[in-house]
Amino acid sequence: MDVNQLLIQALSPLLNAYWWVFPLLFLLAFLKTPFIKGIVGELQVNLAAKFFLDKHIYMLFKNVTLPTEDGTTQIDHVIVSWYGVFVIETKNIKGWIFGSPQQKTWTQKIYRHTNIFQNPLHQNYKHTQTLQAALELAPDKVFSVVIFVGDSTFKTAMPDNVVYAGGYIRFIKSKMQPILSDGEVLDIGTRIQSGRLKPSIRTHIDHVKHVKAIVAEKQRQNDSSCPKCGKPMILRTTRSSANQGKQFLGCSDYPKCRMVRQIT
């Protein structure tokens, strides 16, 4: 009997007794994927709308994918009422969140780990513009809302339309002045339903491919730009310390911006 057979024979009782551990580990890993996190975040928004927004006043549309000139744009939620059209972007992100409306990117910090992500207000701007153009609405009738779900904490002041999950209902209900008639609300709902692409796995997959292509192109363009302020990064050489002579990329706006990027 060889070593492999001895090993299998020795482990068989253990595997038979604890077989359930492997599917459990797979399930836990699956639950942490961005896809599932997105579903969980959108579910929270759906439930809050169901229980706290009168369905006779507020119409909720989920996962609205609209065609654009260069592909598609996908909106997490659209809420239509007398008080305006609310375009909602949901972010399931944990940790400390730093950002301002003007910045191209925001920062997520979890202990010593730092991650840069696109300013969700800028991301939702395309959604609002696409929907506004499709519905032929004035800008003052469309409201952008960004919702953070999960264990996140804002460490910088955020505008009123960037909220935690529990705050988006308050933001929507803060709009108390009717700006759309019954007929306009009905027409908007009909046009959203007829103009959206049919919700399906195929529609979602095609949209994801489109987004990945855009991200890849932006990454190629931004490789030479400062992730903090957007200014060009330039090649510099360390002149002191143990790393003397080592090259790195530094922001051209130094010393105002001290962002550096190591060359690997």
Check whether residue 7 and residue 57 sit in a common domain. Answer: no
Residue 26 has pLDDT above 80, yes or no: no
Counting every residue written for the chain, the total comes to 264
Backbone angles phi, psi at 86, to 5 degrees: -105, 120
Domains: count for the chain: 3
Q: Give the CB-side neighbour count of residue 158, counting CA atoms within 13 A.
A: 21
Check whether residue 3 and residue 84 sit in a common domain. Answer: no
Closest CA to 34 of 161, 182, 211: 211
In this structure, how many other beta carbons lie within 10 angstroms of the beta carbon of residue 178?
Answer: 12
Residue that has been written with the tokens 């910090």 in this structure: 109
Does a structural domain hold residue 255? yes
Does a structural domain hold residue 227? no
Q: What is the pLDDT of residue 72?
A: 80
Q: Which tens digits make up the pLDDT trace of 121-159?
A: 998 998 999 999 889 999 999 999 999 988 899 999 999
Residue 242 has pLDDT above 80, yes or no: no
Check whether residue 42 and residue 101 sit in a common domain. Answer: yes
Check whether residue 165 and residue 253 sit in a common domain. Answer: no
Alpha carbons 244 and 222: distance in angstroms, whole number: 27
Give residue 248's domain range. Answer: 233-262
> Looking at per-residue confidence, does 181 or 44 come out higher?
181
Does a structural domain hold residue 228? no
Check whether residue 249 and residue 193 sit in a common domain. Answer: no
Confidence grade of residue 17 (pLDDT, cut at 50, 70, 90): low
Does a structural domain hold residue 55? yes
The predicted model scores a pTM of 0.66
Check whether residue 23 and residue 46 sit in a common domain. Answer: no
Helix or strand (DSSP H, E) at 26 = helix 21-31
Q: What is the pLDDT of residue 154?
A: 95
Q: Give the CB-side neighbour count of residue 99, counting CA atoms within 13 A.
A: 28
Across all residues in the chain, what is the average pLDDT?
80
Task: Give residues with Cβ within 8 angstroms of 196, minimum separation 6.
Answer: 61, 64, 65, 66
Does a structural domain hold residue 96? yes
> Looking at per-residue confidence, does 80 or 261 come out higher?
80
Check whether residue 11 and residue 89 sit in a common domain. Answer: no
- Answer yes or no: are the C-beta atoms of 120 and 101 closer than 8 Å: no
Check whether residue 206 and residue 129 sit in a common domain. Answer: yes
Q: What is the pLDDT of residue 145?
A: 96
Check whether residue 72 and residue 44 sit in a common domain. Answer: yes
Q: Which tens digits make up the pLDDT trace of 30-42?
A: 445 555 655 666 7
Residue 223 has pLDDT above 70, yes or no: no
Does a structural domain hold residue 249? yes
Check whether residue 193 and residue 110 sit in a common domain. Answer: yes
Q: What is the pLDDT of residue 159?
A: 94
Does a structural domain hold residue 244? yes
Q: What is the pLDDT of residue 214?
A: 45
Q: Give the CB-side neighbour count of residue 125, counting CA atoms within 13 A.
A: 9
Alpha carbons 128 and 50: distance in angstroms, whole number: 23
Check whether residue 162 and residue 216 sit in a common domain. Answer: yes
Check whether residue 152 and residue 256 sit in a common domain. Answer: no
Does a structural domain hold residue 88? yes
Report residue 124 as tokens.
């939702």
Confidence grade of residue 226 (pLDDT, cut at 50, 70, 90): confident
Alpha carbons 141 and 179: distance in angstroms, whole number: 7
Q: What is the pLDDT of residue 88?
A: 95
Helix or strand (DSSP H, E) at 205 = helix 201-222
Percentage of the chain modeled with pLDDT above 70: 72
Confidence grade of residue 10 (pLDDT, cut at 50, 70, 90): low
Task: Give residues with Cβ within 8 angstroms of 227, minimum separation 6.
Answer: 105, 116, 259, 261
Alpha-carbon distance values, 208 to 87, 162, 202 (Å) = 19, 24, 10
Q: What is the pLDDT of residue 207?
A: 46
Q: Which tens digits make up the pLDDT trace of 50-94?
A: 899 999 999 999 888 888 777 788 898 999 999 999 999 999 888
Alpha carbons 243 and 241: distance in angstroms, whole number: 5
